[in-house]
Amino acid sequence: MGVFKRNPKTGRKCEDGQRGVWYYYFTVDGRRYREAIPAATNKKEALIAEAAARSEVFNNKYGRKDGQANFSDFVWIEKTQTSEYLEWVKANRKSWPFHKTYAPVIAEYFKGKRFCDIESRMIERYRDHRLAQPSKRDGGARSGNSVCRELAMLSAIFRLAIRRGYCEANPVSSSKVDWPHEENRRKRTLTDQEEDLILSRMVGKYARLRAPFLTALYVGCRRGEMFKLERDDIDFDLQQIYFRPEITKNGEERLSSLIDPAYSELLALKNQGVNKPTIFGISVCEASRLLRELLDKLISEGLLKGAISGWHVCRHSRTTRGFKAGQRPDVLRDELGHKDLNMTFYYSHAGDEDRLRDARKVEKRLKDNLAASIGVQDGENG
């Protein structure tokens, strides 16, 4: 089609002699290229801009220099079970197992596409496609936050591709695509009674959950950190656990206090010589599966109420209990491995009993003040 003028008010092409904005429009290999040329004042200038745009396309400005910027091959190669992107992630990100899990999914959806073929509208279609698919965990609806993590991975893919010269723009940015964020703050903690209930059911095949459950609940460590601990990381004399920088989420070492009953459980495992496949004698996958199974049973029996997030509820419970016991916020922050005090406060939750207890403090104070006021008035009248 070449170049044409369009009336900005009506959106239609201009008649001869009518004022408007110049546009170029052409196709290459079935892909359309159309853009406004507001700086062009006549057809000659518009044709020059069109020629420059065609030159950029033919020179593969938005792809590899050899014109073979295949997106799916950059993300996942089935034959080698890896890719250029995954090799970079493995060397730079602790979350690389997540990326390896979803790389085949993303590569399959965008199979045969070049970087220059992928636009924001295609990313939106991928988002809607993933939201419509059921969750593999329980067959229910896939959460928006789960899809957001995939979009974050897509964005990371494009950022790396930009740095390596495979493309120039990131079509996944939140300014171009709406990310389906959902409010998912966990407010659930375990009461002492719920803790006793869960421990009472940790018998038989669930018995191996006692040590990791009590460690998570009384140390407050993350699941990934806990199951990567080695026997030498635990100092039973000083009653502390050393979290090596290579196993922590933020890559910084820290010390956490080891108190009972977690101390007694870990000491018993040490005396028994348990050290494989982890110091708890159970793998992280098996432990997580069994804990989820046990909690679901208790919920279905009506013994536990509300959503419980597995291991992470222990971390929230430890933080909340620390604040209730009067533990200093900065000490609690360091033991949990938070960089910011705001995050430590975020993990603390006040239950109904706490709110009622604090409210009654005010109620008692008002009664005392009222009684004192009445006494003063009686004295003045006398």
**Rounded-to-integer distance, Cα 214 and Cα 237, Å:** 19
Ordered strands of the 2-6 beta sheet: 2-6, 21-28, 31-37
Q: Which residues contact 253 (CB under 8 A, 6 or more apart)?
A: 242, 243, 244, 245
- For the chain, give percent helix, strand, coil, nearest 5: 50, 10, 40
C-beta separation of 287 from 212 below 8 A: yes
**Rounded-to-integer distance, Cα 30 and Cα 252, Å:** 51
Pairing of strands 31-37, 21-28: antiparallel
The hierarchical CATH code for the domain 192-349 is 1.10.443.10
The number of beta carbons lying within 10 Å of the beta carbon of residue 304 is 19
Amino acid at 55: S
Between the CA of residue 338 and those of 62, 220, 234, 252, 329, what are the distances in Å? 41, 11, 20, 10, 11
Give pairs for 121-129: CB < 8 Å, separation 24+.
122/171, 123/151, 123/154, 123/171, 123/172, 123/176, 123/177, 124/177, 124/178, 126/154, 127/151, 127/177, 127/179, 127/180
Q: Which residues contact 117 (CB under 8 A, 6 or more apart)?
A: 31, 71
What pLDDT is stored for residue 226 in this prediction?
96
What pLDDT is stored for residue 67 in this prediction?
36
Pairing of strands 21-28, 234-235: unpaired
Q: 214: which 2 tokens?
A: 């009590």
**Rounded-to-integer distance, Cα 262 and Cα 270, Å:** 12
C-beta separation of 189 from 250 below 8 A: no
The number of beta carbons lying within 10 Å of the beta carbon of residue 212 is 30
Between the CA of residue 85 and those of 33, 61, 147, 364, 371, what are the distances in Å? 29, 21, 20, 63, 73
CA quadruple 303, 306, 309, 311: dihedral positive or negative?
A: negative
Q: 77: which 2 tokens?
A: 């190669």
**Rounded-to-integer distance, Cα 205 and Cα 152, Å:** 38
Q: 50: which 2 tokens?
A: 């069109």
Q: Which residues contact 29 (CB under 8 A, 6 or more apart)?
A: none
* Average confidence (pLDDT) per 10 residues, the chain, 382 residues: 81 82 82 84 88 74 50 93 93 88 96 91 96 84 92 95 88 89 80 95 96 96 94 96 93 94 96 91 94 94 87 94 92 94 87 66 61 58 54
Name the pTM for this structure. Answer: 0.64
